[in-house]
Structure 1
């Protein structure tokens, strides 16, 4: 009822002529007023008014409307209104033979009302927003307004045609009446009637000619509006595909195709109405060149709309391994308009980048570059979702034919695509249409070891391709500012976190990819090449930047998501920055950073005491996914005694307490449970971490640790099983930074605990 409340406020401002056009005699304004709530609750736009199959549903709506009017009349205390409503309800039965005409009438009224409200709300000289490429993209309201305006123009053409028909009937009658009067004497007293008749005929002929001109003019205007509206639609479909591509790196993407489907269906209906009106114009005025051009333009728009309505709703994986199953779903936005009878079969095939490029030139690929099994599917309509889709559930690439590669190009840089083709017959169209669409670019591999490099190709393509590009052209270099946005989006998307990479993280990544350690340098405008991203290995390493970065993503996603989201992991930080922020912090202050030297590793950098009493920054050997699977990061941080404060100054036990593991309960078979404890080797020049199984008594408070050496030697436990026994790389062990010696007095409490421990050991 919200629409009627708004439109009723505008009624005093409308002319009588506008009101008569808005609410015709067949549907008086009284019906709109008394049944406003019920009318706005019905789904008038869902009807296909050209489908006789929907007549029963429309007839049920008519019966409900008549019953509601009679009920309103019965309860109305005003006798005049009661009689009027009863009269209206009886007249509504005229729709009984054509119930779909009722749907058309109500739908047109609602469209006109929405248009009037938008025009009333729009200030003078308001222009439509003009975003990229000068085309309106995503505003659903603007699209509805355009469609409503277009539909109203078609209604004006139909109204003009009906008016011409009435004028023609009146002319025929007047001319028939005037024939007996011709040849009468001018002195005849009936001569005046003859003059009146001739004047009347001349007036009708003038009106007829004016109305015919208006009809052709409206037809031309509607054609222009249809072309503009369809251009926006096709641009929006292309934008939807591009946004789908960009979603690979985590950018927002609304995958709902129903608004675009409704838009397609309405434009198809308008095209059909205009073709019908054009046929009637040609019948009334003859086939002239002007009408022939309009007919050709309509046919071209129809063909373009039918071809543009096939989209890949669910893309195949962009990295496909041969001999592996994968799926894809193709949707036809004009599915409800497909002629019934013969099933529509879609076929998929693999095409190369060159073949995809040639599709734009109208060249159909003939060479088969790959063997694809389960490559056909039937286009099926789902009534619940109102979608018409072909789902390829178990496709698999048996083998692939590679192209000749240039220079150092690898197989993981070669792009393919899936081409989907079918032949469709649209209701109301005589000949079938050959329709096709292609998937996003895919990289085909034969072994899992190629997946990382193949994904780099996909990421570069999805992050840096331009809309409406030639398949599948990408730049060789991009600004670091653009690269950093892509890395942060991909990180957040894969880890499924709301926390992205901050400017410190991104600056560290720039230092790494450019091999520049300057902490103050601005990298935003520096170009990053594909080779720097995933062709050239990092200095002193055996892996590329992307291989290292993807390893960090994988570790964070599988083991560190909660820590990262809460901001407990600093992440990416350069050497200079690390020393700057830790140099004045107390001993035991630490932060968590991703390893520079190991793929998928996280290390702990902390402030430690030197032999001469000064301080240095140590880095514990990185923990990998395998390490964290055996003992979580929270437990490891709890066990390591030399770290006390999370940067900047938070006690670690308070911050990480919720990540500590609760001691295991005793086993029912009598075995004592054990736990793994992380120990850092404090020998000079080393900073390694190991874990040791530690027996746990039935009362965990009295667990016993047995040292293998007296104080002064390595603090290891009995039966050590180190997980990270190797020495850390030099890049994780930064050169110690020495500062003035501090007083390092032993803690008396530590001495007492040691005496108690030795006493217990002697008793054993």
Structure 2
């Protein structure tokens, strides 16, 4: 099947014309796909197409091909594919009158495939297996090939069993026929008929022994292949869970479970067929030790498959407040194979980190660490989606029992999980199986003020934990390069923007978290959990994460469009600010996130100094509350001392679409009004004033009183000593 594995990677890059020429209507690509292994094992090149004596052999290959197609269709869980394969099988009967034409067709296809792979232009399209944290992941297409190969192995075993049965019947018949002849000719051992019969019996017995040996060998190979395929399946399920965990920080995640469910169901079917074949071989050849070992291996694989097929499709929120409702859903990938009858009830309970670790050693939690209400749900099958799920719609944690904390550890650093448990019986299995799965780690809080710190714990866990870890171990320090990836991904995901953090932004963040000027390559500098969210920033009363999360929240709610269009410089330190603005004319400004206030954005601009030079000034930050009353675009329009956004774009061109359109007079006679932001550098007096809009029938003829109480102090931040003289 190696040839098909290579050519299938090139299919997306081939034109429709090439595909139609390669796979004619009489031999569709579906046949090439499903019977890839069998096709490549046959010796098509040995045929002499002009030799009529080889026609019976060609017809035998055609019969085998049609039989395999029927079997593949029968085992295919996809109804559409099943009907399609049956239709293809009927159409291929055209080769019944010309079996050598089938040989010619298949041989030409294989030759063309090899020729295509040899073309230089096909080399760049060779696929590289995907990796997750250094672990190579099997392509999803590979799983189909693995299962197809397994199905064909089972068919080979069944064919071999049928041949043995036929040989046994022939052998019994020949022995029965030979008994009278032996009585009549026992004095003449050289009697021709007796010699012929004896040779026939000897040959049949030899063929029987060969087939019996082959049958056992095929069984051993099939069980070994099943174990390898199932190992890849379980690794893929773990990878799905890992990707689900990483999606918390905004990384891509394909939540489609249909391919994994199909894979699980197919392997369950193969396991069932192989267990049946082992039972039959024990009946025919006795309970030898190696048969018993095969049976044990299959039972072990069956148990592992059944217990690995429970997944938390919709995770509970990873920060849960007591006395509040939340939901979750759990899916069983072998739901269609569950024994009918008694409903399967899934139970949820909350467990500690130490209890989650003990689960891996087979220890069932007995201590109740939290009171969880509405903690049971029935596994229900949805015929439309072919999924079997238990949905917990109104769960709530009434109370929680805290563990003894170490040192300065706070309650927002304590991780729990939900453990889902059910007793499931699979059709064809005598005993039920206990199936369990835990959720992603959760932090339980009792007050909304704890949410920010709890989310920091979750972000650190999801961003920096290793695959297949012991629950819920995380490193104490990580390289800055990993922190960069996590911060940028989380920012983009929360704001719902395609614009991430650039090098300037990340350099500024590094200087902030390390509290020092940084130059050169600092990607491998370690960042500790304490620096992330335990130690407050120098001169502030908040941590790095609390400040960064405030920026995310402000951008998400008030500044998404500005950020996405690149109008906000964002994270920039004071020194870098001086460097890029020092040669700019007065009125040049940029938008930066506040250093001293959580969730604030400020305008830094070049203005005149008292000595006639220029200096950089910072207007007091606007918070969400400020921007809710008047948007950032309107405030930029109103401030007369700024004219060009960095580097040199006129503000009225760039921000015009964000300006609020003036409202017409109200029909009841009231004058509409607007809030206007005023910054007067000469008087150090910024104003936010309310004034009637011009143009209405009741507009006053007098000027607006400039003595309206000010809402902001004049300028924000430290005194900027950097003054530029003209």
TM over 0.5: yes
SS at match of 1:568: coil
Q: What is the CA distance between 1:83 and its match in structure 2?
A: 12
Q: What is the CA distance between 1:191 and its match in structure 2?
A: 2.0
CA distances 1:276-296 after superposition (whole Å, capped 9, x unpaired):
000001001100111111111
Q: Do the aligned residues in 1 keep the contact of 2:617 with 2:715 (CA within 8 Å)?
A: no
Q: What is the CA distance between 1:65 and its match in structure 2?
A: 9.3
**CA RMSD in angstroms, aligned pairs only:** 3.5
Name the residue aligned to 1:181: 181
**Whole-Å separation in 1 of the counterparts to 2:362 and 2:704:** 79
TM-score scaled by structure 2? 0.86
Name the residue aligned to 1:531: 530
Name the residue aligned to 1:486: 486
Name the residue aligned to 2:3: none
Name the residue aligned to 1:36: none
CA distances 1:303-345 after superposition (whole Å, capped 9, x unpaired):
0000000000000000000011000000000000000011000
Q: Do the aligned residues in 2 keep the contact of 1:135 with 1:232 (CA within 8 Å)?
A: no
CA distances 1:219-276 after superposition (whole Å, capped 9, x unpaired):
0000110010000111111111011000000000000011011110111011001000
**Whole-Å separation in 2 of the counterparts to 1:345 and 1:578:** 61
SS at match of 1:24: helix
Q: 1:495 to 1:62 in 2, by over 3 A?
A: closer
Report which stretch shifted further, 347-356 or 135-144. Answer: 135-144
CA distances 1:412-451 after superposition (whole Å, capped 9, x unpaired):
0000000000000000100000000000000000010000
Q: What is the CA distance between 1:538 and its match in structure 2?
A: 0.3
Q: Do the aligned residues in 1 keep the contact of 2:130 with 2:139 (CA within 8 Å)?
A: no
Q: What is the CA distance between 1:611 and its match in structure 2?
A: 1.5
Q: 1:28 to 1:408 in 2, by over 3 A?
A: closer
Name the residue aligned to 1:348: 348
The answer as to 2:23 corresponding to 1:24 is no
Name the residue aligned to 2:722: 737
| Structure 1 spans left out of the alignment, 5+ residues | 33-38, 49-53, 74-80, 86-112, 709-716, 742-764
**Structure 2 residue aligned with 1:719, among 662, 684, 708?**
708
Name the residue aligned to 1:269: 269
Q: 1:348 to 1:25 in 2, by over 3 A?
A: closer
Name the residue aligned to 1:567: 566
Name the residue aligned to 2:366: 366
The answer as to 2:621 corresponding to 1:625 is no
**Whole-Å separation in 2 of the counterparts to 1:127 and 1:669:** 70
The within-5 A match list for 1:228-377 is 228-377=228-377
Higher Rg of the two aligned structures: 1
**Whole-Å separation in 1 of the counterparts to 2:693 and 2:596:** 36
**Whole-Å separation in 2 of the counterparts to 1:483 and 1:561:** 23
SS at match of 1:343: coil
SS at match of 1:398: strand
| Structure 2 spans left out of the alignment, 5+ residues | 1-18, 33-38, 48-53, 99-107, 119-125
**Whole-Å separation in 1 of the counterparts to 2:565 and 2:352:** 45
Name the residue aligned to 1:711: none
Q: Do the aligned residues in 2 keep the contact of 1:575 with 1:734 (CA within 8 Å)?
A: no
SS at match of 1:167: helix
SS at match of 1:183: helix
CA distances 1:581-627 after superposition (whole Å, capped 9, x unpaired):
00000110000000000000000000001111111000000000000
**Whole-Å separation in 1 of the counterparts to 2:62 and 2:336:** 31
Q: 1:349 to 1:389 in 2, by over 3 A?
A: same
Q: 1:611 to 1:604 in 2, by over 3 A?
A: same
The answer as to 2:691 corresponding to 1:694 is yes
Name the residue aligned to 2:163: 163
Q: 1:414 to 1:242 in 2, by over 3 A?
A: same
Q: 1:580 to 1:290 in 2, by over 3 A?
A: same
Q: Do the aligned residues in 2 keep the contact of 1:316 with 1:327 (CA within 8 Å)?
A: yes
Q: What is the CA distance between 1:521 and its match in structure 2?
A: 4.4
Q: 1:558 to 1:704 in 2, by over 3 A?
A: farther
Q: What is the CA distance between 1:737 and its match in structure 2?
A: 1.8
**Whole-Å separation in 2 of the counterparts to 1:162 and 1:250:** 55
Q: What is the CA distance between 1:690 and its match in structure 2?
A: 3.4
**Whole-Å separation in 2 of the counterparts to 1:43 and 1:733:** 77
**Whole-Å separation in 2 of the counterparts to 1:216 and 1:472:** 45
Q: Do the aligned residues in 2 keep the contact of 1:136 with 1:232 (CA within 8 Å)?
A: no
Q: What is the CA distance between 1:740 and its match in structure 2?
A: 2.4
SS at match of 1:693: strand
SS at match of 2:390: strand
